[in-house]
Structure 1
Amino acid sequence: MTRSVHKFGGSSLSSAKRYHAVTNIILQQAALGDVVVVSAAGKTTDTLVKLWQSYRQADQQAISDVLALLSANQFELIADLLTDSYKDSALELLDAELISIGEKIASQHLQEAHLLAHGELWSARLLGLYLQQLNVAAQSFDARELLTLAQGVLQHEKNVIACGQFSATKYNVVTGFIASDEQGQTITLGRNGSDYSATLFARYICAESVSIWTDTQGVFSTDPRKVKQAIRYGKICRGQANLLARLGNPVLHAKTLTPLKDTDIKLVVRSSFDSSSAATEIVKEGFAKQKRFITNLDHYDLLKVADLHEGEVGELSRIVQHALHHFVEKDEVYLLVPAALGHQVLTLLAGRCNLVESNVSGIALVCQHGDGHQLAQSAKVILAENNVNLRFIYSHEDYCILLCEQQLDTDRLTILHDKLVSVSQELAVVVAGLGNVGTVFLEQLKEQLSRLNQLLPVKLVGLIRSEQMLFNPTGIDVQNWQAAWQTHAVSYHEAELLSHLAELDYEHKLVIDITASEQFSQLYPQFVAHNCHLICANKYAGTAPLAWYEQLQQSLKQRNLQWRYNTSVGAGLPINFALNDLQNSGDKVQRLSGVFSGTLSWLCSQYTAEVPFSELVMQAKAMGYSEPDPREDLSGRDVQRKLLILARELGLNLELDDIVLSPLMPEALSNGDWEFFVDNLALLDTYVSELAAKAALEDKVLRYVAELVLSDDKVTAQVGLQGVAKQDSLATLKPGDNIFVINSRWYQDNPLVIQGPGAGKEVTAAGVHSDLYWLCVSLAK
């Protein structure tokens, strides 16, 4: 059967609230039969270590204080989570264990490993009981009954048999960090031993995957707490993960990865504080491209070792319970060791080891194979320019190490990241909609790529049209996309598209929607969930119900993603840019009006009393100026949607129905079918001619106008046919053009006017390219 392992660290279980969150994750993300590995809750292990230190120092007052603290913390968790018999049982066991600890202290028989094991034991038992209290099938295990080591070596065959105790019909909650020797004595698995336990269990039960749930959203290019522009990677190959672990990466640990060697088990690093966020997968070589990383090296000793034996570094790492990294420079073997462990390692290697640098800091840069030497030189120059004096440099084809006296601050790390890591990013682009505008966009992309690639390498990886899709994660040749489409496009379902997006191994992903499909726009939240930026000419998402729209905007913000949609209104005209610039400069828009439809602009400008309006409508249809069913244009719904998009761009929380809509046709024609419309065109002609005659009496002409007025916290919005003065800029508009007239505090008497083609495949495609360019500019910063 398919099984998964889920591991939760101490911060994920630091309070009753966090236990609730973890329980929700288990019920939503795990399945019966899965294994749930837990660490000690919160700071419990630190408190137990303090108790051990107090015991060693024979400090009776400290022992009493720490025991009281342990009791209070565990009692609070139990009281907050459990009730009735579950609570009574847990408290009874806790009291017995604390009494036993006190007795061992009094009789001088306390053992460190046995003491430290209580943290995990308490977490597993409490989570198991809480699940049972919720009527969820669950049981808890003490890993000392499942994992056995003999002289420090795991007894794999015995352990596999022991793991047969896991139930296929229950959640199996088990302690991390601890095991036992052949005599049944407690053994701890060292620093980050719970992660190691999780991958061991995954190996023993032949799990499909193991998820490490932490307080970070995966693995980043550098510490996101120090560098705001840190990139969360969706996939990392195991080779780079191992190297990062040996170099002290705080999320990944070399020991954790060891059990997964030569298996297909997928390792996933996820956030237990935001379970819906994307994760980082650690995959086999060849299943992810190599990335760049900056890892901080704070407070390290650099040792030179003579006659280092094969396997000795691994043995040293086991003894000091910390991953150590060694390398060879000019036939000399060096060992990088945390300064707190330096003396211990020097003692273990007495006579063969010298201290080269003491308590130094710096960075390690991990990179694509072959870039390490050049990267070291570039980093050296950047650090020198920022007044950092280096004590030691080592470079390899896959990474480099630079050590200095001081820790690198946020500013210097950010500069290094911008100049050495961000430049290696790529943008994967999926284009949906291969009609008139989409085809022109792709033709323009052939010329634009060289310009875009100077900012950020861009790859076209997907094409979508109606019910067919072409996907190539390594890139589609833009020069020959049509031939590739004819040869390789296949039918698809939404789930397949989303799966392809999830598998894309790029720092940045983008979906460009040049469709007019409401159904496709409804997929935007799922695109965002897969960390895709959005560019669209599609109006439906921008005019969706407000709650949906705001949730999408919130999701984009949480994931630091962009949604650009300048071409959803005015084709290539920069109306969205103008409104944003006005607001960002401190201005306040008071009125926005204009002609927002190229089709209705052409019809109204061409209309005279000598030519029936219906004749112009049919002419526009024949020339392709209108929708295949011109009633879509005459309904005014398109203009209504455009005005709503601009209103929301101004920060107004409007729904579509808040905009008063007056169609450019009588209601009877709106309700009938196409044949009824054609048979009753006289109704349309009468409707327009009467309004035109009324306008002419006032020396005005008809225009289909959108208008938004903001005054005294009151908003009025409407679209409909209006008479406008012949001198007005709306009256003198070139047939087919759009015009946007903006009145604001700074443009009151003399409004800001943006005018030009509001439709056309070339200008619309160019507008999409403008959005793509500015997205690349933003990502390249």
Structure 2
Amino acid sequence: MQVLKFGGTSVGSADNIKRVISIVQERLEKDTTIVVVSAMGGATDALLNSGLMAAAGNEQYKEALQHIEQRHLETVKLLIPVQHQSHVLSLVKKLCNDIEDICNGIFLLGEFSARTRDRMISYGELISSRIIAATFNNSGTAAAWKDARTLIQTNDNFGNATVNGPVTRRRIADYIASCKEALVVMPGFIAADANNETTTLGRGGSDYTAAIMAAATDAACLEIWTDVPGMMTADPRWVSGAKVISSISYQEAMELSHFGAKVLYPPTIQPVLRKAIPVVIKNTFAPGDAGTVIQQKAFSNGNSIRGISSISNIALFSLEGSGMVGVPGFSRRLFEALSAAQINVILITQGSSEHSICVGVEASAIHKAKAVVDTEFEHEIAIEKVQPLLVETALSIVALVGENMKSHPGISGKMFGALGRNGVNVRAIAQGSSERNISAVVATKDVRKAINILHEEFFETTRKEIHLFIAGTGNVGSILLQQLQQQQDWLAKHLRLNVRVTGLANSRKMIIDDNGIDFHNWQEKLQGGEDADIEAFVNIIIGKNFRNAIFVDMTASDTVAKVYDRLLQKSVSVVACNKVAASSSYDYYRKLKDLARTYNCLYLFETNVGAALPVIGTLNDLLRSGDKINRIEAVLSGTLNFVFNHYNGQVSFAEVVKQAQDEGYTEPDPRLDLSGTDVMRKILILARESGEQLEMEDITCNGFLPESCMQGDVNAFYEELKKHEPHFKKLYSNAAAANSKLKFVATFEQGKAVAGLEHIPPQHDLYHLYGKDNVVLFYTGRYPVQPLVIKGAGAGAEVTASGVFADIIRATAS
């Protein structure tokens, strides 16, 4: 004996029904084969909607019924030879006439009762099973049609019927004993009560019908054929890396199906569990695939977690009050009130203080739940022993399921740690003593993100997905994209990272692509994007709510720097080449640091000082390990160092500055470098990272540019440099006369910061600093005389981009 069940998609068209015929014919054995079928995909909803329209007095129900009839008649014509169609067409037509009569009655009465509803939607399975039985008979395979209502008896709880087990088992046993056919086709989902009134077993009830038949006939196996390859580790529509679960226990399958895994109707497991009948979930459209086997003991997959599932449209309510503490009976009264109102409880949590009980129910029932509970505790609320019910909506439940979780400590910590690091707030937690299920209530807007986070944490042993949103595609930004492209394979192989650029923006255009922007043609894609708007760009990032999201600022824009706080509050890490934020007001700098800590993400800006040199990282390491900063002395401008290393009075100062700009060592406006503003920002950042509360106005800057050089545009600046060439020659000659070099030096000591041009003698540590190099000297408690020196290229697009790249990799660990 074998039982095969085919779902709505599997029988949703003539072509699909032909697949079903072929699958069954290949599996026919000497013993009886029972085939249970659902309604054609979408038919049940169409019937239900027709009834609702009729009840509402909407005569369009007649047109809807015509579509239903036409669909089934066309299917018959495509499946059965013309010479054999008349009988089947007449049967389908008669059943459709019955549907029309019922709808006409609903329309006249303006009432659509639960009894009538069950009768109405039963026709989906009745018609499909008739068509499929006739198709078998006309394809050379004799098949009997059996009405499930004559075998499965239920109570009269219409819309939510429960099966009368003894009567049903006896009827099925009697039928099988007398059955002479090798193949029986029957409708799923429908049954009848003791008065022979049509009832239904709940949406998805065809699985349940098949399980009842398998258990009653002691079938060797129950095969459930659907449109997916089996039960999955997560919903594949939400998680691209979801995998088929090859083997799963009955208990794990029940947990997953109760928590939103739509592959299996939850009550299906109970009948086959008692008889230890294995269930196989198969794909009608890939019959050669192994699918999922559900059995008493699942084969080990080396993972304590079997799958991740969710339930949406959940609401929480909390019964709270000091009057509950130590007083028996509150829980009983609460759940009795909910039960009397037929409100199903999905999740319960209660603290050991007994001060509150938190209950999860379907969102559609929350207003009713509040009303009945407030009524039940009306007296306690009036005397302020208990507060009126507190309600939260727009919630979902995410559940980790696995039989072996009880023998693996740390699962909960790993789960909630992963959610926390990605900014998913958990509103309530529930775990049974069996440790087979850990459930967390999260905001519905976060549920997709949460499932992806957990799937990556527990199942993705290959790669971690990183979503980059990059603002700024100029010289440094373009090189960063080149470096990311070049290192894709290396990151995947050595760090198991799949770094995806999901968003790009510059001052003109912006684009977002959930699947990642192609590195080979990002320029063309960006040119065709929508008009740039940093606020809109940030709103999209927040709205997408991707896990492992990193915002990368490759601009020098104060407007872009002002959005960091919004991103950090959503647990989006920020990597900034832009110095504006870290050198703006101390309050904003401190706010960003605190937000990153609070929301479990990172704010990284290593390239703000010294490009790719590990200046900030080293400073932080010194402080974290207990050292104390006594003094910082540094040449922090690669531009100024380049300029003064190349200027010797023979080539004009203006030409040297222009060379520095042409080689990419200056800001677009070189005055930011030459005025000392850039150096001031850098020493300010180092002072703040040392623990000092300084503002930009607190820094003394001894500039060397004549005031007129700061007027007008960049072209005017160069003209002024030419006019003041004698001034620059004098600076050089004075230093040469003192046997010194000119260096623009920044110093921080005893809470004060100074920046300015200095004469550096040969014996000084800063003397031998060439090209565009930077150098930072840390005098600390551990390095009081001989400083810790960090030296190297402090400017240039390549090294700056590489420093940002390094920060991105650091941020992936958050």
Question: TM-score, length-normalised on structure 1?
Answer: 0.51
Query: Offset at 1:222?
Result: 6.3
Contact residue 430 and residue 440 of structure 2 kept, 8 A = no
C-alpha contact 1:459 1:475 (8 A) present in aligned 2 = yes
2:459 is equivalent to residue 459 of structure 1: no
In the other structure, the counterpart of 2:247 is none
Residue 475 of structure 2 corresponds to residue 436 of structure 1 = yes
Say which of 795, 800, 804 aligns to 1:768: 804
1:226-274 Cα deviation digits (max 9, x unpaired): 96555466789xxx9999999664544xxxxxxxxxxxxxxxx4xxxxx
Match of 1:210 in 2: 394
Unaligned runs of 5+ in 2: 1-314, 346-365, 379-386, 398-409
- The answer for the alignment partner of 1:756 in structure 2 is 792
Q: Is the partner of 1:543 in helix, strand or coil?
A: coil
1:38 Cα shift?
Answer: 6.0
Cα separation, 1, equivalents of 2:323 and 2:490: 55
Distance 1:654 1:51, change over 3 A: same
Deviation at 1:537, TM superposition (A): 0.8
**Which of 632-641 and 725-734 deviates more?**
725-734
Q: Distance in 2 between matches of 1:596 and 1:114?
A: 68
1:116, 1:748 → 2: CA distance?
74
Shift of residue 747, structure 1, vs aligned partner: 2.5
Contact kept, 8 Å, 1:149 with 1:180, in 2: the verdict is no
| C-alpha distance in 2 between matches for 1:662 and 1:457 | 47
> Which residue, 512, 520, 535 being the options, matches 1:471?
512
TM-aligned CA deviation for residue 628 of structure 1: 3.8
Deviation of residue 557 (structure 1)? 0.7
Pick one of 289, 314, 319 that aligns with 1:40: 319
Find the aligned partners of 1:149 and 1:39 in 2 and give their Cα distance.
Answer: 19
Decide whether the 8 Å contact of 2:318 with 2:391 is kept in 1.
no
Partner of 1:363: none
Deviation at 1:584, TM superposition (A): 2.9
Segment drifting more, 727-736 vs 751-760 = 727-736
Alpha-carbon distance in 1 for matches of 2:423, 2:475: 34
User: Counterparts of 1:566-645 in structure 2 under 5 Å?
Assistant: 566-645=606-685
Residues 671 and 211 (structure 1), Cα distance of their counterparts in 2 relative to 1, 3 Å cut: same
Whether 2:463 is the aligned partner of 1:427: answer: no
Shift of 1:689: 2.9
Distance 1:698 1:654 in 2: 34
User: Cα deviation per residue 1:282-327 (whole Å; 9 max; x = unaligned)?
Assistant: 66xxx6684475xxxxxxxxxxxxxxxxxxxxxxxxxxxxxxxxxx
Structure showing greater radius of gyration is 2
> CA distance change for structure 1 residues 292 and 524 in 2, over 3 Å: closer, same or farther?
closer
Structure 1 residues 432 and 677: alpha-carbon distance in aligned structure 2, compared to 1, 3 A threshold: closer
Deviation by residue 1:330-360 (Cα, 9 ceiling, x = unmatched): xxxxxxxxxxxxxxxxxxxxxxxxxxxxxxx
Note if 1:716 corresponds to 2:757: no
Distance 1:757 1:282 in 2: 43
Residues matched between the structures, number: 458
Match of 1:179 among 361, 372, 376: 372
Alpha-carbon contact 2:644-2:743 (below 8 Å) kept: yes
Q: Which runs of 5+ in 1 are unaligned?
A: 1-35, 54-111, 118-146, 155-172, 188-193, 200-208, 214-220, 253-268, 270-278, 294-366, 369-416
1:426 Cα deviation (Å)?
A: 2.9
1:574 offset after TM fit, Å? 1.3
Structure 2 contact 746–755 (Cα < 8 Å) conserved: yes
Corresponding residue for 2:582? 542
Instruction: Sort the Cα spacing of 1:610 and 1:551 in 2 relative to 1 into closer, same or farther, 3 A.
Output: same
Question: C-alpha distance in 1, partners of 2:716/2:483?
Answer: 42
Cα deviation for residue 631 of structure 1 reads 2.1
Question: C-alpha root-mean-square deviation of aligned residues, in Å?
Answer: 4.5
Post-superposition CA distance 1:378-404 (Å, at most 9, x none): xxxxxxxxxxxxxxxxxxxxxxxxxxx
Does residue 281 (structure 1) correspond to residue 474 (structure 2)? The answer is no
What does 1:247-262 correspond to in 2, within 5 Å? 249=438, 251-252=440-441
Taking the aligned partners of 1:727 and 1:689, their CA distance within structure 2 comes to: 24
Query: 1:50 and 2:328 equivalent?
Result: yes
CA contact under 8 A between 1:431 and 1:511: conserved in structure 2?
A: yes
Could you tell me which amino acid in structure 2 is paired with residue 481 of structure 1? W
Alpha-carbon distance in 2 for matches of 1:523, 1:597: 27
Pairwise CA distance, 1:486:
4.0
Query: Match for residue 386 of structure 1?
Result: none
Q: For the Cα contact (< 8 Å) 1:437–1:514, is it kept in 2?
A: yes
Residue aligning to 1:309: none
Aligned match of 2:762 in 726, 736, 745? 726
Q: How far, CA to CA, are the matches of 1:578 and 1:751 in structure 2?
A: 13
Q: Distance in 2 between matches of 1:444 and 1:244?
A: 50
Normalised by the length of structure 2, the TM-score is 0.49
SS of 1:687's equivalent? helix
Alignment of 1:665-684 (within 5 A): 665-671=705-711, 674=714, 677-681=717-721, 684=724
- Paired residue type of 1:210: A
> What letter corresponds to residue 494 of structure 1 in structure 2?
I
**2: CA distance, partners of 1:715 / 1:153:** 64
SS in 2 for 1:473: coil
Given that residues 37 and 174 in structure 1 are in contact (C-alpha distance below 8 angstroms), is that contact kept between their aligned partners in structure 2?
A: no
Kept after mapping to 1: 8 A contact 2:711/2:717: no
**Which aligned pairs between 1:547-566 and structure 2 lie closer than 5 A?**
547-566=587-606
Match of 2:779 in 1: 743
**Partner amino acid for 2:767?**
A
- What is the CA–CA distance in structure 2 between the aligned matches of 1:609 and 1:437, rounded to whole Å? 32
2:570 and 2:599 in contact (8 A); partners too: no
